């Protein structure tokens, strides 16, 4: 068997070995265990294509300081890499150069006050309770909305086994009733 060969479009060190039958064996290096795992050519190319993309993005932002000779170790998990650096990321607690505080002082608080969160939650519970009064399959309808908030009435009607037009008419009446609960 010969040692690791240096070739490839991305000019990185690849783990490709030739065995006695003149067939190439491809490996992926697993950094956490320090092992080379044999894989197919497709798996090898797919894995290193993605890690190259991630590494180049990190290098463009000054966060990857991996020496060329260790590129073969790259697995795209940059946060756990010994060559990962802060790059162009700035802490919100870092003082500004003009002495006017920190970057964090200039970010507005977009969170809702807790009173609004509780009020919204209570309204949602009232709407669900009223829906349960109006439709026996309300829990199924609610679950459909929770699974996919963009789900169409047609798709819900199919799940319930109801004719689409009938269900659409029922939902129109239900929505009118729910608007009364909201006060609109």
Calculate mean pLDDT across residues 132-158: 93
Calculate mean pLDDT across residues 61-73: 83
Select from 72, 62, 58, 64 the least CA-distant residue to 11: 72
Token pair recorded at residue 41: 């050519």
Residue 139 pLDDT > 90: yes
The residue out of 52, 73, 88 marking a domain boundary is: 88
Residue 175 structural domain = 114-182
Place 170 in a pLDDT band, splitting at 50, 70 and 90.
very high
Token pair recorded at residue 175: 């929505």
Residue 10 pLDDT > 60: no
Which contiguous run of DSSP H or E holds residue 5?
strand 5-6
How large is the C-alpha radius of gyration of the chain? Answer: 29
Range in 15-19, 53-57, 79-83, 88-92 the model is least confident about: 15-19
- Confidence (pLDDT) at 9: 43
Q: How many domains does the chain have?
A: 2
Residue 135 pLDDT > 80: yes
Residue 121 shares a structural domain with residue 73: no
Choice between 86 and 100, residue whose per-residue pLDDT is larger: 100
Range in 30-39, 85-94, 128-137, 148-157 the model is least confident about: 85-94
Which contiguous run of DSSP H or E holds residue 29?
strand 24-30
Query: Is residue 54 included in any domain, yes or no?
Result: yes
Residue 19 shares a structural domain with residue 69: yes
Q: What is the pTM of this model?
A: 0.41
**Spatial strand order in the sheet of 24-30:** 16-18, 24-30, 35-39
Query: Is residue 99 included in any domain, yes or no?
Result: no
């Amino acid at each position: 068997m010969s040692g690791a060969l240096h070739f490839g479009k991305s000019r990185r060190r690849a783990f490709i070995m030739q065995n006695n039958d003149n067939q190439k064996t491809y490996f992926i290096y697993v950094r956490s265990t320090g092992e080379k795992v044999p894989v197919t050519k497709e798996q090898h190319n797919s894995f290193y294509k993605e890690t190259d993309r991630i590494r180049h993005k990190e290098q463009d932002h000054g966060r990857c300081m991996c020496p060329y000779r260790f590129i073969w170790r790259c697995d795209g998990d940059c946060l756990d890499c010994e060559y990962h650096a802060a790059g162009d990321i700035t802490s919100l607690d870092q003082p500004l150069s003009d002495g006017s505080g920190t970057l964090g002082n200039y970010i507005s608080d977009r969170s809702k006050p807790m009173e609004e969160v509780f009020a919204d939650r209570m309204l949602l519970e009232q709407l669900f309770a009223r829906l349960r009064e109006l439709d026996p399959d309300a829990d199924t309808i609610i679950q459909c909305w929770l699974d996919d908030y963009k789900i169409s009435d047609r798709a819900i009607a199919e799940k319930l086994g109801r004719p689409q037009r009938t269900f659409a008419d029922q939902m129109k009446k239900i929505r009118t009733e729910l608007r009364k609960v909201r006060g609109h």
